[in-house]
Chain A
């Protein structure tokens, strides 16, 4: 069944279609949630809230603007960040020296050599704010302006945080000695 037809049936309240939608996307969204919120919340609870909102706003989905998973992912990220927005204590963390460099050349090569679970472990180990900036900019491909808007921080803070996050990943990678 095509996504468009599945969405129509879900809007009409067809339970089997809704179940199929959940079964198709829940594991990926759960992985996404764990990548953003690994520590403090039950990811299944967040996933449930995500699907409640997805079903509530399903009429707003426009297939011409993108695939369904991208739209669902946007809702999930927004919901995750909304709950995180209240806590910005990580902004005061100055323990890592600031380097205004967008890329550490060898990080991508390191990550490409690693399997996905190990990459997940590395990212999950990042402190909250760093993890979110890294996820948004490095993984999702947001610009620093978009990231700053989503997290309600300054663009410069987004840049410096990404730089710190990359440095942290390299350090953690060295400590874990995965390879």
Chain B
């Protein structure tokens, strides 16, 4: 049965109608379309841009978080460095006789303890070092030990000898240092047990008063040229910078406005096999775009820099891409046909008639895709002075997406595009998506930021464009520049 059916089907499928091939080819040859030279695959550019943005982000994070190489190197060096080096240095201009007497061996080694207070200690140390430097330059020859040797207390036990020195500045002594000497390995240890608290509270003051800092010369004389640890000192210079850091968790309300360029990747999907054929190799397509973004963002931020945010985001993407459009054309011309007589016989006729046929046209569309989203993001921000970098990612709920635009028709060779018609034709249903962004900002004031923002946005759901017969999904990669206004802030 099936074989019988296949037989007549095959014969019908392979049937050929006689035709004047020469005349047909002559009329067809001039109408064969030339491949559009401007139509190029740009998918790799989309992903290249994506990779550049990603690597830029990672690189910036690394650079931003990188500890100062000088300090790191010196810290390691410091662990192995001895007082000997410092003392034997021919550059030592302010080592005093008293100080030399107090150090029992010439090859003694001092180690500044790497305890938890090191950073605080170095804060004070930096101030002291600066003071010393200034003092050296002003009156190096007059440097003398100012500590009263009578304040020294020396204790011995079976293993080591502790020399405790108390440096005093008048009656108030902000820093108390204990220098430990180990007899067996001849190592000095300077333990800054109390330095953190006092140094932190007096660092700024010390930095402004070099003479006060000089009070500590006696106990620090062995360390003067080991600027290592002391240079780690951190003197706040934020007097001119906005107070960006949160002291406690709180809300921030931001309004962001930005503009940028990027690329969009279009993906088309249809269940209709003929529409699939029509889409052909255009099932994935790239376009360049401009993007505009306005965001109202409510951000709950923790002092550590982590935050969650939500709000309302309105964005427009102006895309440019080439496309093919079909048209049904109707013309009055001669046509061949049949009529049936009463007996059912077909009689061939040729007469003038309205004929309709479909025509494919190459077109270029400039579409504006506007969407309103509710983003829900998790982010992390790092701030230094007037600068910050942050990364955020999350999901978006799309409220609406609307497409409008204009169309340019491909007219002839050489390439000539004519604007012909306005397009306002697509309104999608709602959907969900995801977005991620990286932002580098500069804050001239506390309430105003200027930023550069690479971002990526995609929709999970395809959008059925009304009347088009296919689903359209778009992924965006943008690089935007903009301004951010801090409208409200709490938690500082």
Q: Show the binding face of A for B, using Cβ within 8 Å.
A: 11, 13, 15, 18-19, 22-23, 26-28, 30-31, 34-35, 38-49, 51-53, 55-57, 59-60, 74-75, 77-79, 81-83, 86, 108-109, 111-112, 114, 116, 119-121, 123-125, 138-139, 141, 146, 149-150, 172, 175-176
Contact = CB atoms under 8 A, between A and B. Distances in A.
A176 B334 CA distance: 30
B271 interface: yes
Nearest to B281: A60
A149 B33 contact: no
Interface in B22-39: 24-25, 27-29, 31-35
A53 B278 CA distance: 9
Contacts of A55: 32-33
A91 to B, nearest CB: 19
12 contacts: A22-B25, A28-B14, A41-B357, A45-B355, A57-B280, A59-B280, A75-B277, A112-B4, A121-B346, A124-B346, A149-B272, A150-B274
B360 A53 contact: yes
B151 interface: no
Interface string B1-28: 1001101110111111111010011011
Contacts of A11: 35
8 nearest A-B pairs in the assembled complex, by CB-CB distance: A60-B280, A27-B16, A78-B274, A111-B8, A30-B17, A31-B17, A60-B281, A108-B5
Contacts of A114: 8
Contact of B33 (A23, A52, A120): A52
A114 B8 CA distance: 8
Contact of B360 (A39, A52, A112, A176): A52
A32 to B, nearest CB: 8
A40 B335 contact: yes
Interface of B: 1, 4-5, 7-9, 11-19, 21, 24-25, 27-29, 31-35, 271-274, 277-278, 280-281, 324, 326, 328, 333-338, 340, 343-344, 346, 353, 355-360
A57 B340 CA distance: 38
A52 to B, nearest CB: 6
Nearest to B334: A42
B271 A149 contact: yes
Contact of B11 (A15, A49, A116): A116
A19 B25 contact: yes
Contact of A125 (B271, B273, B340, B358): B340
Contacts of B8: 108, 111-112, 114, 116, 119
B337 A44 contact: no
A146 B277 CA distance: 14
Given A42-B334, A149-B272, A52 B31 contact: yes
Contact of B24 (A47, A120, A146): A47
B336 A42 contact: yes
Given A49-B357, A55-B33, A108-B1, A81 B337 contact: no
B16 A175 contact: no
B12 A116 contact: yes
A44 to B, nearest CB: 6
A175 B344 CA distance: 8
B334 A27 contact: no
A30 B5 CA distance: 23
B338 A86 contact: no
Nearest to B279: A60
Nearest to A30: B17
Contacts of A46: 357
Contacts of A175: 343-344
Nearest to B340: A125
A43 B336 contact: yes
Contacts of B24: 22, 26, 44, 47-48
A83 B356 contact: yes
B360 A42 contact: no
Nearest to B2: A108
Contact of B19 (A30, A39, A56): A30
A48 B343 CA distance: 34
Given A44-B19, A111-B5, 11 more contacts: A18-B32, A19-B29, A30-B17, A40-B337, A45-B357, A52-B32, A112-B4, A112-B7, A124-B346, A139-B9, A139-B13
Nearest to B14: A28
A141 B9 contact: yes
A154 B337 CA distance: 29
Given A23-B25, A45-B357, A52-B31, A139 B277 contact: no
A112 B12 CA distance: 11
Nearest to B274: A78
Contacts of A121: 346
B17 A27 contact: yes
A62 B355 CA distance: 33
Contacts of A82: 274, 326, 328, 358
Contacts of B28: 22, 48, 51-52
Nearest to B331: A45
Nearest to B11: A116
A149 B360 CA distance: 21
B11 A119 contact: yes
A56 B27 CA distance: 17
Nearest to B343: A175
B199 to A, nearest CB: 73
